[in-house]
Amino acid sequence: MEGYPQGPELSRETLEILRTPEQVFDSDIEKARKESERVAERLRQIREEHKNSRGVEFDLESKIGAGMAKTIQITWADWRDQRGVMLSLDPITKGSGPESGVFGYKGRYGIAKRTKNRFEYESGTSRVLTLEQLFMVPEGISLIVRPTMVRWAIGTDELSMPYGDKTKTLYMGLGFLLLGGKGHKWMHIGMHEAGHLPDENDENKAWTTANRNYASLTRGDKERIRQIVMGKGRGRFDLLEKPFYGSGPTIGKIAKYGLVSHALGGDAKVPDAWLKGAGRTMEEFNDKIIEAQQAFDSFIM
């Protein structure tokens, strides 16, 4: 591994995920909940802070009047013009004052600009999207976010049940998003999670929905396509940049990691050629899982 300090041994959580890598994309809800509780405790112990590494910046900022609740900001920054794309998770609190607790988060995403030593959403140039808009979830469905280290999942649990079947909990693996500037690409997992909604369990259909929705963003937009072809645009999540060695995961590679890991577990269909190369694919993906755990530990001590 390069770029992040490696501890003397892998965590118990990482070892379990390496045995069942498909749970990066579709974790058991109860295991995701437990991991999110450990992450919540770590976040509670951290004061306001700012960290940056390899093109990604991480900020924790206390919410005024909300006790220990903090807004989480992850910005994939472009140092050439001091702009970037930011994901912010705003706490939903219960209780009041110093005793208040974080119930979950609501997410926003959009273009940001640097203001002194932090980023703020830029007004007047691009609409700030809710995560429901960003991931193109079916109409009427609302998301409550709970951060995890590397597990992603979506479904109904103790957080969302009181609000009915139109509210879902999205467990979001921050470790992948903190993999430097290339961590932005892993946001596409969120579109895959939305592909499971409202009640779709088929992995192939979930990925097909995610990739079809992604393609719809540029379909028929000649100017946007021209910018991408010229190398002046990279599409949502930077997934449409011109590929070169070491450029990080592509939309196809992320889907391949998800489908092959599920196929080895018996609940996804993949081409024979993918199965023949499954060992190498999973070796690559295991390296990414380990690096994501290290990135998480580096930013959220």
**Whole-model pTM?**
0.91
Question: Chain centroid to CA 118: how far?
Answer: 21
Q: Using alpha carbons only, what angle is made at residue 288 by residues 252 and 197, rounded to the nearest 5 degrees?
A: 55
How many angstroms from the chain centroid is the CA of residue 150? 9
Read off the DSSP letter of residue 150: S
Residue given tokens 């190369």 in the structure block: 277
Kindly report the backbone phi and psi dihedral angles of residue 45, in degrees, each rounded to the nearest multiple of 5, phi listed first: -85, -10
Return phi, psi of residue 150, to 5°: -135, -5
* Residue 160 token pair: 């969302």
Nearest partner of 268 among 278, 166, 121, 184, judged by Cα: 278
Per-residue pLDDT tens digits of the chain, which is 301 residues long? 344 444 446 788 889 999 999 999 999 999 999 999 999 999 988 877 889 888 899 999 876 554 568 899 999 987 666 889 999 999 988 765 554 578 899 999 999 998 877 889 988 656 899 999 999 999 999 999 999 999 999 998 887 777 778 899 999 999 999 998 899 999 999 999 999 999 899 999 999 999 999 999 888 777 777 777 777 778 899 998 776 656 678 999 999 999 999 999 778 999 999 999 999 999 999 999 999 999 999 999 7
The candidate with the shortest Cα–Cα distance to 190, out of 262, 297, 108, is 108
Query: Helix 251-265 vs helix 278-299: angle between axes, to the nearest 10 degrees?
Result: 110
Q: What is the DSSP letter of 185?
A: G
